Structure 1
Amino acid sequence: MEQLAAHTPLDRAPTRETEERYPERIGGLSVALAETFKIMYLEDKNSQTGHWEDVTVVLDRLL
């Protein structure tokens, strides 16, 4: 959230077509997050704070 707050607001609103694709995009990011957890922490069943930090670093670099 801090990163988003640091960005200047867009000078225009997204189109309806773009907004309609949000669920698809968010779903894809959720799957990517889950797969990254599975790859990095295959043995662990309970995510710890450090795991979340590591996984978000990977996803941030990819995005």
Structure 2
Amino acid sequence: MTGGTDEDSGSTLATADANLSGTRELLTVLKRLLRTRSPRLLTRASTEPPAGSWRTLQIRNSA
């Protein structure tokens, strides 16, 4: 509940696996919705950007 981890529990890998499973399930549902509602967006979201096309974000200090 606190966002902390129990270093000795040995559950980190199981937690990561559960998170991936949940993400895959959600993406499956979203894919079905996008296929009918916005196929162009689905095609665009399913392709990887060309190498080197990621833009670096500049973080500004608000202080």
Considering fraction of residues, name the structure with more helix. Answer: 1
TM normalised by structure 1 equals 0.41
Indicate the structure (1 or 2) with the bigger Cα radius of gyration. Answer: 2
